[in-house]
Structure 1
Amino acid sequence: MGGMLALPPGQGPHQVGCTDVMVGHTRQGLFLRLFYPCLPRAGATEPLWVPRPEYCGGLADVTLGRRWCSALLGIAIGSCKVPVSWNGPLKPRSSGYPLIIFSHGLGAFRTLYSSICTELASWGFVVAALEHRWVPGSPPEAGTEEWIPFQRVPQGQKEFYFRNKQVHLRAQECVRALRLFQSIAGGRSVPSILPQDWDLSVLKDNLDLSKVAVMGHSFGGVTAVLALVKEPSFRCAVALDAWMFPLEKLLYPEVPSPVLFINTEKFQTPESVAKMKRLSSRNSQTRIVTVLGTVHEDQTDFAFLPGKLFSLIFGRRGTLEPRRALAISSRAALAFLHRHLKLQEQFGQWDELLEGVGDSVAPAAPFGRSRL
């Protein structure tokens, strides 16, 4: 029984394993959830979707604006599991797996995109879903556990300057995550702080770090775009419903690599789409598509909540069936990654999605607005 949320298993040829990785306690540390192709094993356990009850308090605060709903949310979703093998053994691959660094949205955390991360891993990717730890302000004390609250814009500070600083910190964290995997591939020992059975060194001969992409949703979408400016090893970016507001205009000519923007129907503004189009005018390989019948939250795991609970938390939900929406987004991403990471798979079969051709997709972007 998976509580009130039923996340779909990956549809690709690989079973999917999952583990948490934490290195370093301070600002220079990293915390991420790793999704990867794994070997089947008897008695595999599935991880909780919300790893700790404290996250429910944060979710209640951000989504409902009411922290007292935390207990109700905990009852509704606290026992939900992700359909992956916790600490399952990595499936070896001599040519190495391509790597995706994934950045979450504002007020989110590393596990809220488990459905898309699981799907991509099932098609032969290692996906590192970051839990962003950097916030503007002072670093925590080393060795202490600190919960980072949702960062509202301080009184008297302009939203752009606050969020712009934050997006630069997050993009830098994506680059640090890539450095972690480069260290592992180079044979350096990287001790994880968390007690676990999973040894990071198994990745040493199973990653192809010439094939690396960055991906994210909402604030994470614009983080992925900025990460391309900071790190040439990221060959392309996939931006799910990117909130383009925090990116300074000076950077638009500087984005060197192609971006796939996958938008929902109800979130984007003309200003945001104009920024995407400015990027596509600079890079002929950049693509903008819209998934019709979807709202902003449909690109998160929340899409798989029962209708009544979803509506209570977010208001209106999209009309497109969530599994269908996930299939469109993941197939478009796979076709794009196939093209720009030069993969040997059959993902080119979904190329038409990149032109906005197919059921429930459209090129470029219709407009509607929901709050972040």
Structure 2
Amino acid sequence: YRVCFSFLPCSTFYFVKKTRISCKSVHNRMWWRPTMPKHLPLPLGPWTPGCMDIMSGYGPNSTFFRLYYPSAFSNKENNASKWYKWSPHEKYIEGFAQLVNSWSSLIKLVVWFYGGEPMVPAMWEAQPLKHGKKFPVVIFSHGFGATRFISSTIGMELASWGYAVASIEHKDTSACATYYYNTEEDRNHDNRIWIPHKK
């Protein structure tokens, strides 16, 4: 893996892998199309947004953020097989539940009743747009009890118009949950050290 944006030092970052779903490409952007999974609002810009998680180094002082960027695909080439779930781990749901003094099982039940967790209509690790120019950069800092993916819709929309958006996930216990890896071996085996939210 390599980070190919000129504003990021390639040698100091690595990618956090994600699980994808299988679904047909999105050619018809109508919300009622039966082959399209439940999803957040589709971005309106000329490019399909790409997305990836990036963590710098190891340990609790490492930097963790979700990067949205314009991909090499037009908005009509948004491939739903590369979409991903809005919440990447149940620990985040548990953190949200703790924040509102509720049970995580209750929140999961509400999500299930609503129709399941929505997908994010950005292509995971898609090839970035190459047009010989630097992307204007936007940095998001989530609020108390939030996460790097809480502003997914805004991040995608800006990316679809040519912005690179870094949504930080803080490790100072202000996030509803977050994690880090102690070593490269831990990362390779996905042995996460979780940092819970503290009010």
User: TM-score by structure 1 length?
Assistant: 0.36
Residue 102 to residue 77, structure 1, CA distance change in 2 (3 Å): farther
5+ residue gaps, structure 1, are 153-372
Query: Matched residues in 1 for 2:167 and 2:154: separation?
Result: 10
Asked if residue 142 in structure 1 is aligned to residue 179 in structure 2, the reply is: no
Query: Matched residues in 2 for 1:101 and 1:61: separation?
Result: 27
Specify the SS of the correspondent of 1:148: strand
Q: Determine the structure 2 residue equivalent to 1:113.
A: 151
Query: Matched residues in 2 for 1:123 and 1:72: separation?
Result: 36
Give the counterpart of 1:15 among 4, 25, 48. Answer: 48
Q: Determine the structure 1 residue equivalent to 2:82.
A: 45
More helix by percentage: 1
C-alpha deviation, 1:67, in angstroms:
3.7
C-alpha deviation, 1:70, in angstroms:
4.2
Aligned-pair RMSD on alpha carbons?
2.7
Percent of aligned pairs sharing the same letter: 33
Query: Matched residues in 1 for 2:128 and 2:105: separation?
Result: 41
Q: Which amino acid aligns with 1:10?
A: P
More strand by percentage: 2
Residue 42 to residue 124, structure 1, CA distance change in 2 (3 Å): closer
Find runs of 4+ consecutive structure 1 residues off by over 4 angstroms: 41-44
C-alpha deviation, 1:97, in angstroms:
0.5
Mapping of residues 119-198 of structure 1, within 5 Å = 119-135=157-173, 142-143=182-183, 145-152=192-199
Q: Determine the structure 2 residue equivalent to 1:251.
A: none
Residue 77 to residue 29, structure 1, CA distance change in 2 (3 Å): farther
* Cα contact 1:48–1:82 (8 A) shared by 2: yes
5+ residue gaps, structure 2, are 1-35, 175-179, 184-190
Q: Determine the structure 1 residue equivalent to 2:57.
A: 24
Q: Determine the structure 1 residue equivalent to 2:133.
A: 95
Q: Which has the larger radius of gyration?
A: 1
Asked if residue 62 in structure 1 is aligned to residue 102 in structure 2, the reply is: no
Q: Which amino acid aligns with 1:142?
A: N
Per chain length, whose mean CA-contact separation is higher, i.e. which structure has more relative contact order (CA < 8 Å, sep 6+)? 2
Q: Which amino acid aligns with 1:16?
A: P
Query: Matched residues in 2 for 1:50 and 1:78: separation?
Result: 11
Residue 141 to residue 95, structure 1, CA distance change in 2 (3 Å): closer
Residue 96 to residue 105, structure 1, CA distance change in 2 (3 Å): same
Give the paired residue count: 148
